[in-house]
Amino acid sequence: MIKLPEDLTRAVALDPGYRRAFEALSSNQKEDLVGWIESASDPTHRRRRIDMAVRSLR
């Protein structure tokens, strides 16, 4: 099971559709997405990546 970062968990919790879309991703897709967010170089960049990830789940 993939451990979601707290900030990503809060972002996908804003809408049940986001959570369902995230859960529908394959394990590899989830790992890639979380890794991409975790690799952000600073908090602003991380927030931007989370926003982009959530938008892609719509």
- The 10s digit of each residue's pLDDT in 39-53 is 999 999 999 999 999
Our CA angle for 45, 54, 52, nearest 5°, is 40
- Among 30, 27, 41, CA closest to 8: 30
Task: Name the residue ranges covered by the structural domains of the chain.
Answer: 6-56
The model's pTM is 0.86
Residues in the chain: 58
Our CA angle for 54, 55, 56, nearest 5°, is 90
Distance CA 32, CA 51 (A): 16
**What is the average pLDDT value for the chain, to the nearest integer?**
93
CB 18 within 8 A of CB 54: yes
